[in-house]
Amino acid sequence: MATKIIYFTVNGRPEQAEFPVDCPAQDVKDLFRSAAEAGPHDILKLYNPKGNIINISPGLEPNSPNSCYKLEVVAADRNSEPLGTFTSAPWESYCLDLFQNCQQSPSSLVISGAELAGALGFDLSSMEKRLQGLEKKILMEAGETPAVVYEMKKQVDSFREKLESVEHLSWLGLFKDLSEGNLKPSPFYLKRTLRKTREECEHVREKFLQMSSLEVSEEVRQYLKTPTFDNWQWEDAEIMVLLQVMYTDLDFIATFNIEPEVLQQFLFEVYRRYNNIPFHNFKHCFCVTQMMYGLIWLTDLRSKLDAIDLLIMLTSAVCHDLDHTGYNNAYQINARTELALRYNDISPLENHHCAVAFELLEKTENNIFRNLPMDQYKQIREGIIKCILATDMTRHNDILIKFKSILPAFDFTNKDHKDVLMMILIKVSDISNEARPMEVAEPWLDCLLQEFYNQSDVEKLEGLPVTPFMDRDKVTKPSSQTGFIRFVLLPLFIELANLFPCLEQHIIDPVRKALDYYTEMEKALEREKQNRAQSENAAKIKDTTVVTQSTAESHVEVGPEAHTPQTVVGDT
């Protein structure tokens, strides 16, 4: 069949495309789209050597390498959810390529504060150097830094701070134009993008495969069964090995005839589909799964439930936050993202996590359930969907009330009872960080708040309602956590411990400790705030020479009581 060869450049890189003369127009467009590593919503423009835009179609005039066409990716449609996540089959490779692209092309990159300043025409470091030089000179001549130099320094610092405070929002495309042009490649290419890059994944996969043949010690295998396990000590490839150990030590490999290569491939795909975000990342997936694993052993669930129920629970934990982008359901709904539209505002995230899980399992090389009869697969699918959808916190009260109501006559052979228990177990595992040692738990809270603050920043920027507990101006670490532990964690954990009293020491005691710790921190913060207010008052009074009564009242804050919010919460 006759084919055409078209020579063109994309981002200055020479490419050539070959296609049959009679192939469909869409195929030719797709071909150019992948050459440009463009996403499904990007607009492509093809220019001939005269600079005219020409149609990307099978009718393209064949050319030679020295009369190249020029291909440009002009814009991305950013109406979709942040960073357009959908990976419905035909676009899967494009999405991968798109994020791959983030590592290579200067457009749509994460740009650092200094670079943004550079692009804006400011050269922060040279300004700073000049200021330092000036300061030194003046210091030598005058003996002290003059107010004007000090003022300028403060301005440069504050500008840098401002730039850095919005740095993480660069993916919104706000800085896209600025980073185009002739910026040289710079270290910020190494900054992590939301989606994992192919290189990142391959590197971890190789390490994982190398390590998976090594024997994990008995000591680690035992440690893995306890909530004291410290996830921060392990890198991603090791974590994948540990997940493999969980499937092995629960006898899933033998019971469900899971081939080790398929399990490895499945775990790798799971790893790949957790994003680089502060909290809902692969390490969170591991922690939740590890807590579930710990609960299974601590409560001796193997003697109470069927192996298939345990397989459902562990796999649900593994998959429960797949492809989370760091924005919660409220955001999805308010911003009318693709996810909210697709799922009609009903648990958009959880539906998505679950759909991604089964999308992975559709590929036979990843399908750890591929050797099971259809009825078992159906049971597993039903169970996983139930468990993952139960992690939507808006359903928290309903699920807890249901569990309380069946507790007095709990029956491990009753399907409805089992279903609720499984939902409770995944919920407990999902929010169980505070049941871990302080050194493990506290960094997790920092990660969560970082993710929340990011969301509220974006909500402010986009003019959406700001979720109150995510507002960095309103919540502090201890204030948010004491309420959460009192009103969410403890009531939930206590009900589970009613069914399994042995859990008291393993998960309730550490949570109570955490509550004390954050209560103390809250008091300390309060004291600090009062002290600051008092000294500010003192300074103001000292500085103010003539103040009329009314101005004094409106400007000077009147003692610590005015600041102290009186929180009335009973002791637990």
Interface contacts to ligand BYE, rule CB under 6 A = 393, 431, 433-434, 445, 448-449, 452, 469, 475, 480-481, 484
State the binding partner of 188 from Zn ion, ligand BYE, none, CB within 5 to 8 A by kind.
Answer: none
CA distance 214 to 203: 18
For residue 397, what are its two tokens?
A: 């009260």
- The minimum distance between CB 173 and ligand BYE, in angstroms, equals 26
- What the block records as the tokens of 230 is 């410290």
Is residue 392 within the footprint of Zn ion (CB under 5 A)?
no
Q: How many C-beta neighbours within 10 Å does residue 477 have?
A: 16
Q: Which does 480 bind (CB under 5 to 8 A by kind): ligand BYE, Zn ion, none?
A: ligand BYE
Q: Closer to ligand BYE by CB, 170 or 480: give it.
A: 480
Which of 321, 326, 45 has the alpha carbon at shortest distance from 171?
A: 326
Chosen from Zn ion, ligand BYE, none, partner binding at 393 (C-beta under 5 to 8 Å by type)? ligand BYE
Q: Phi-psi bin for 80: left (phi > 0), alpha (psi -120 to 50), beta?
A: beta
Tokens 């936050």 identify what position?
321
Site string for Zn ion, 451-490 (x = CB under 5 A): ----------------------------------------
Q: Which partner, Zn ion, ligand BYE, none, binds residue 484 by CB below 5 to 8 Å per kind?
A: ligand BYE
**Neighbour tally for 511: CB within 10 Å:** 21
Q: Which is nearer to ligand BYE, 449 or 507 (CB)?
A: 449
Comparison of 163 and 475: residue with beta carbon closer to ligand BYE = 475
Q: Based on the number of CB atoms within 10 Å of its own CB, is 470 exposed (0-12), middle (13-18) or buried (19 or more)?
A: buried
Task: Calculate the alpha carbon distances from 54 to 2, 8, 17, 51 in Å.
Answer: 22, 12, 16, 9
Task: Decide: is 430 part of the binding site for Zn ion (CB under 5 A).
Answer: yes
Nearest residue to ligand BYE, scored by beta-carbon proximity: 480
Measured CA to CA, the distance from residue 399 to residue 535 in angstroms comes to: 49
Asked if 229 contacts 294 with a C-beta cutoff of 8 angstroms, the reply is: yes
Write down the least CB distance from residue 383 to Zn ion, Å: 18
Region of 177-185, 209-217, 317-325, 349-357 interacting with Zn ion (CB under 5 A): 317-325
Least Cβ distance, residue 287 to Zn ion (angstroms): 9
Q: Does the footprint of Zn ion cover residue 321 (CB under 5 A)? A: yes
State which residue, 149 or 449, has the beta carbon closest to ligand BYE: 449
Active site residue 168: no
Beta strands in 116-179 (DSSP E): none
Q: Which does 448 bind (CB under 5 to 8 A by kind): ligand BYE, Zn ion, none?
A: ligand BYE
For Zn ion (CB under 5 A), the number of binding residues is 2
Residue 470 CB, shortest distance to ligand BYE, in Å, is 7
Q: Which of 280, 320, 324, 506 is catalytic?
A: 280
| 240 vs 431 by CB, closer to ligand BYE | 431
507: which residues sit within 8 A by CB, 6+ positions away?
227, 428, 432, 435, 493, 496, 497
Are the CB atoms for 293 and 365 separated by under 8 Å? no
115 binds Zn ion (CB under 5 A): no
User: 351-355 long-range contacts, Cβ below 8 Å, gap at least 24?
Assistant: 351/389, 352/322, 352/323, 353/319, 353/320, 353/321, 353/322, 353/323, 353/324, 353/388, 354/319, 354/384, 354/385, 354/388, 354/389
Give the one entry of Zn ion, ligand BYE, none that residue 519 binds, where binding means its C-beta sits below a cut-off of 5 to 8 angstroms depending on kind.
Answer: none
Beta strands in 212-281 (DSSP E): none
Q: Shortest Cβ distance from residue 322 to Zn ion (Å)? A: 10
Residues that bind Zn ion (CB under 5 A): 321, 430
Indicate which residues carry an active-site annotation: 280
